[in-house]
Structure 1
Amino acid sequence: MAKARFRSDASEAVHSAASGLYRAKVIDKKTMREYDDLCIEKAPEFDAKEIARIRKGVNVSQGVFAVYLNTTVSTVRQWEQGDKKPSGIAARMLQLVEKNGLGIFG
């Protein structure tokens, strides 16, 4: 499982304490989900135009972009047409490419 991205150091501490209480069966699963919602940063959402802008900004074809993001050309096309939304991990990858370019893939 990927490491959670917390909203702040304080959120991480609060979540850690809540996790301990959950493991000790002091709080229930519903309450733990509420702590997750409060403390863990959501994956970004990108619309079709933003995804196309990010890809064009790094000056690659849909095929090359798909290879970098470990997905298919069809998926990239569907994202850019608005037929499909990137999942959490794919959205994080898009966020990284938007911020750092393709150089992050070394």
Structure 2
Amino acid sequence: MAKSYRSDALAAINETMEALHEVGAIDKQTLRAFDDTCLTPVDPLSPAAIRALREREHLSQPVFARYLNVSKNLVSDLECGVKRPGGPALRLLTVIEKKGIQAIA
């Protein structure tokens, strides 16, 4: 998955930092810290936001679950607030929120 930067300028600066790392001018820890400041953050989604996202895409819980590669019960738990999405699931939900379900279809 391609990195999503906060701006084109930060993407260009990050490319420069990666080149500096390749030639040994900065260490990997510095590069990782810089990556963290440049990449678009993934904000948590509320249960209501997850449900609204699914409904915006006109999908049932079972179909939405198949797109996310999770169980229908997990989608239900996310929408009820029993569980909170994290890691890859949260990233996928964020991509769907910004670009629509076709971005992962």
Q: Same fold, TM exceeding 0.5? A: yes
Give the TM-score normalised by the residue count of structure 2.
0.76
Structure 1: runs of 5+ lacking an equivalent: none
CA distance, structure 1, for counterparts of residue 101 and residue 23 of structure 2: 44
**Measured at CA, do residues 15 and 68 of structure 1 come closer, stay the same or move farther in structure 2, by a change above 3 Å?**
same
Letter matched to residue 81 of structure 1: C
Residues 47 and 102 from structure 1, CA distance in 2 versus in 1: closer, same or farther, beyond 3 angstroms?
Answer: same
Note closer, same or farther for the CA distance 1:28–1:52 as it changes in structure 2 (3 Å cut): same
For residue 71 of structure 2, what is the aligned residue in structure 1?
72
Contact 2:21 2:31 in 1 (8 A): yes
Q: Aligned pairs, how many?
A: 104
State how far apart, in whole Å, the 1-side matches of 2:27 and 2:103 are.
39
**TM-superposed deviation, 1:24:** 1.9
The equivalent residue for 1:33 is: 32
| Runs of 5+ unmatched residues, structure 2 | none
What amino acid sits opposite 1:27 in the alignment? I
CA change 1:4–1:56 in 2 (3 A) is same
Query: Deviation at 1:15?
Result: 0.5
TM-score by length of 1: 0.76
Query: Following superposition of structure 1 onto structure 2, how do residues 1-106 of structure 1 map, counting pairs within 5 Å?
Result: 2-82=1-81, 83-88=83-88, 90-99=89-98, 101-102=100-101
